[in-house]
Amino acid sequence: MNGYFIEDNFDAVVVGAGHAGVEASLALAKLGQKTALMTLNCDSIAFMACNPSIGGTAKGHLVREIDALGGFMGIAADNTMLQIKMLNRGKGVAVQSLRAQSDKNFYHRYVKKHLEETENLRIIQAEAVEILTENGKVTGVKTAYGSVLTAKAVVVATGVYLKSRVIAGEWYKYTGPNGFEPANSLTESLQKLGFTIRRFKTGTPARVDGRTIDFSACTRQDGETDVYPFSFMSERVKTEQAPCYLTYTNEKTHEIIRNNLDRSPLYNGSITSTGPRYCPSIETKVERFKDKDRHQIFLEPEGADTNEIYVQGMSTSLPHDVQKAMYRTIRGLENCEIIRYGYAIEYDCIDSMALLPTLQFKKVEGLYTAGQINGTSGYEEAAAQGLMAGINAALYLKGEKPFVLGRDTSYIGVMTDDLVTKGTDEPYRMMTSRAEYRLILRQDNADMRLTERGREIGLVDDARYAVFLKKKELLAKGREELKTSVPLKTAKEFVESYGGSLYGGITYAEMLKRGIPIADVKEKFSAFSDLPFDILDTLETDTRYEGYLERGLKEIEKAKRTEEKLIPPDIDYNAIDGLRLEAREKLDKVRPINLGQAERIPGVNPADIAVLMVYMKK
């Protein structure tokens, strides 16, 4: 470090203060590590560059898991929400997900204040230009000013800022989202360390002046008050909530888009980076789904202190004149005035298969990455990775065993395993369909699955643990009450009113298994009197799907047999006779830690696994 100005000496440095960087820095600081959180601009901390919302399908699961482990996103979402609702109510409980519309500016301020008040944590506004290493280990971070922050662990969570370029039609500019400065120098440092760099893309729609929208021409969408919040520490959701509105595109909208595709960067060759398949632009939707004569558009408030309305469903990189024309074809938006036009943004990210399941880079000890730099999309995916990277960086500094969640324990485990084992060729989004055991990995039981583990690590404090123990006690009480038997004479008419037949006594649990709602059982028999509705929801689900849950647990136990068979880290796959060439290449690239992970590598078949097992026995 001779010749450098030493800004300060830290245990860990987190580069980037988006949703991943926030969780990583808080985890490190709470676990006793002196931590620096670097940001290009303090005004961009926890900034919601796209939709000002938290949660959504599968994403709500991630937020509750973050909270169950002692993370912060759920608390921030509960305290800054404008509206909340449960998605997929008409579907099975495994795919139901919380989603909240957040107050964009308040969310930023709320998180920033919490960071400022956290012990062991210092915020520094500076651009990181180089990750410093010595003998294959991290030693610090160099800033654009030429100063150095020394550290033995670094978490890189740069989001979409690496060489970011914003595009709208023929216009482009090398800038970050919302006019924030990009990070133009760090990519070269990452490449020198051995990372493979990719170029991904995402986008955002216009923000419209709410005063120029005719909301009476749209369908009002209210929030819900009979749902549990994101955080297990929050008692209830807000009763006063802001409305959102639903409207649709039409054939005129589609005609304008089709007539201007030659001016779209997505179709004229101006953008060659890979975009998200599951969150396409409006021009992509019009082209891909030519049989649809309309697409849903949700008008969502950006905050309580602004008239800006987020036009969800119309992400675009078309020129501004085309955007204005197409927005004004939509019912309710005929006279709208655009405050911020939509744009696409492309940025550098890494090949996530270069990471261990701890999110540590395989080639440099103490170097972790989290969030969109790993090829993911979404605030929730980023925050979950940030939490895991922060935890593991802290454990690494302490010389303790790493913390890895399996696919059978959490959506966080599913996502992490997907990233490091399969990789991704497009912005990765968490979906319930990715989880093999999604009936077990529900939102309502995230604390029952993970809070004990968070306690063991040291992230779950006494107050949170007391809430967990109280819930555990109430669940046990409810399960005991479910065994209550109701005589035939008392229950017959009630059960038959639901289309069933009864010839003897019946327990509350058996009623639930017949499809009778627990709320109706409670009302009829004055049962479960002091149990809150979230406890009742869990009891109803666990009882009704008891057979499926037992089957899932057996499958998990079976899968654990291969997960427990560890592969030596120094194994030479090229020396194993019988392994196909493709399998050798894939196994050597991923370097799986156990046979279970090896089985999930694309290109490695059961015969390869059998050969590997024989070799390991020898």
Whether residue 313 is contained in a domain is answered as: yes
Digit-coded pLDDT (tens) for 350-372: 999 999 999 999 999 999 999 99
Whether residue 527 is contained in a domain is answered as: yes
Per-residue model confidence (pLDDT) at position 529: 87
CA 405 to chain centre: 15
Per-residue model confidence (pLDDT) at position 147: 96
Where among 344, 359, 392 does a domain terminate? 344
C-alpha dihedral sign at 392, 396, 400, 401: positive
| DSSP secondary structure, 25-92, as one string | HHHHHHTT--EEEEES-GGGTT--SS-SEEE-TTHHHHHHHHHHTT-SHHHHHHHHEEEEEEETTTS-
Q: Please report, as a single letter, which amino acid is at residue 15.
A: V
- Number of domains comprising the chain: 4
Q: Strand 207-209 vs strand 197-204: parallel, antiparallel, or unpaired?
A: unpaired
Where among 554, 578, 607 does a domain terminate? 554
Per-residue model confidence (pLDDT) at position 558: 87
Q: Does 260 share its domain with 340?
A: yes
Contacts of 328 (CB under 8 A, 6+ apart): 334, 335, 336
Tell me the residue ranges of DSSP E strands in 103-196. Answer: 121-125, 128-134, 137-143, 147-150, 153-156, 165-168, 171-173
Positions of the chain with pLDDT lower than 70, given as ranges: 1-3
Per-residue model confidence (pLDDT) at position 2: 62
Per-residue model confidence (pLDDT) at position 616: 87
Helix ranges (H only) for 497-545 are 508-513, 518-525, 533-544
Whether residue 453 is contained in a domain is answered as: no
Q: Does 29 share its domain with 174?
A: yes
Q: Does 311 share its domain with 370?
A: no
CA distances (Å), origin 400, targets 26, 259, 403, 569: 19, 60, 9, 18
Whether residue 446 is contained in a domain is answered as: no
Q: Which long-range contacts (CB under 8 A, 24 or more apart) does 359-362 make?
A: 359/385, 359/388, 359/389, 359/392, 359/416, 359/420, 360/392, 360/393, 360/396, 361/193, 361/194, 361/195, 362/591
Per-residue model confidence (pLDDT) at position 1: 61
Per-residue model confidence (pLDDT) at position 559: 86
d(CA 386, CA 12): 13
Q: Does 98 share its domain with 179?
A: yes
d(CA 517, CA 532): 15
C-beta of residue 375 within 8 angstroms of C-beta of residue 198: yes
d(CA 58, CA 401): 29
C-beta of residue 300 within 8 angstroms of C-beta of residue 310: yes
Per-residue model confidence (pLDDT) at position 577: 87
Q: Does 383 share its domain with 527?
A: no
C-beta of residue 355 within 8 angstroms of C-beta of residue 369: yes
CA 195 to chain centre: 23
User: Residue 87 is encoded by which pair of tokens?
Assistant: 């998605």
C-beta of residue 239 within 8 angstroms of C-beta of residue 83: no
Whether residue 274 is contained in a domain is answered as: yes
User: Residue 592 is encoded by which pair of tokens?
Assistant: 């799986």
Per-residue model confidence (pLDDT) at position 34: 98
Through-space distance between the first and last CA atoms of the chain, rounded to whole angstroms: 47
d(CA 219, CA 160): 34
- Which of 461, 448, 469, 534 is closest to 70 using CA atoms? 461
Q: Which helix (H) or strand (E) holds 208?
A: strand 207-209
Per-residue model confidence (pLDDT) at position 564: 87
Q: Does 60 share its domain with 96?
A: yes
Where among 326, 344, 362 does a domain terminate? 344
Whether residue 444 is contained in a domain is answered as: no
Q: Does 527 share its domain with 572?
A: no
Per-residue model confidence (pLDDT) at position 377: 94
Digit-coded pLDDT (tens) for 385-420: 999 999 999 999 999 999 999 999 999 999 999 999
Q: What is the CATH number of the domain that holds 510?
A: 1.10.10.1800
Per-residue model confidence (pLDDT) at position 268: 82
Query: What is the residue range of 138's domain?
Result: 7-203+347-436
Q: Does 168 share its domain with 241?
A: no
- Which of 357, 365, 317 is closest to 341 using CA atoms? 317
